Amino acid sequence: MTIPPDAQQKILDVLSHAKGAEIDLAGPIYSVWNSTPSTDQASLLRFACETWGALESDMTVPVPSRFPKQRLDALRKESGPIVDKMLDALISRRLPEDEFYAQCHSIIENPFFADEDHRIFALYWILADKRIPYFRIGTGLHMSDPDYEAARRRLRLALQKIRFIVNIETDQKTVTASLVLDAIRNDSDGSERPLVDQVVLMAGLLDEGGGKRGVMKQLVKLLTSSRTGIGDLFE
């Protein structure tokens, strides 16, 4: 799939210069997408999804507000769950990226979204979803419950160390994140842990998510603040 250079530049201009609410930025992006030949719409949607939130606008071009709060609340209630279900079904298929966006752009064109307001909202809801941009991922590591619990017991001190790191004060997020990653990847003697142990430690943090100090909540905030993650665990 190709990205029309003129349409790409128009989207970059919106995201680089627009001043307004996110829902209002979706309007000009929709106009560019809608005026693009249908054969190029999927690639342009992918570009918009991968660029949304990645640029800092200089706020030099005010964008008119299209949706009063009452209207936006109604769209969220009426159309938000529909877009969510469509995305859920599409993401669950684990398609290659190009195929995903080829199917995703049809969500915006779904007859349920009968007018432009609904279609702009559908585009906005897709762009704002935390699972966008989309990536095709592998199946991950599966473990039986007994094996997982045995590994957690064996790695108890490492889990406690990670919980300690996340809950102490450091002067930068990168300091905390790098210490956590080091504790996940390396044993106390400096040797690299087996991949299965690294995965168990990360999964252990997921288990800790509802705990008193909200360990996983803090870690996720650290790792998702710049759309970064653990990286090498699930190649």
pLDDT tens digits, 165-222: 888 888 888 898 899 899 999 998 999 999 999 999 998 777 655 443 454 555 555 4
Per-residue pLDDT tens digits for 132-161: 999 999 888 899 999 999 999 999 999 999
Average pLDDT over residues 26-46: 95
Q: What does the alpha-carbon distance between residue 125 and residue 229 come to, in Å, rounded to a whole number?
A: 23
Q: 88-116 burial string, b = 16+ CB within 10 Å, else e?
A: eebbeeebeeeebbbebbebbeeeebeee
Q: In the chain, what are the domain boundaries? A: 5-128, 145-224
Residue-averaged pLDDT of the chain: 87
For residue 226, the model assigns a pLDDT of 37
Q: What does the alpha-carbon distance between residue 82 and residue 107 come to, in Å, rounded to a whole number?
A: 10
% the chain with pLDDT above 90:
72
Tokens representing residue 156 in the block: 């108890």
pTM of the model: 0.77
Residue 25, pLDDT above cutoff 50: yes
Residue 3, pLDDT above cutoff 70: yes
Q: What does the alpha-carbon distance between residue 57 and residue 170 come to, in Å, rounded to a whole number?
A: 30
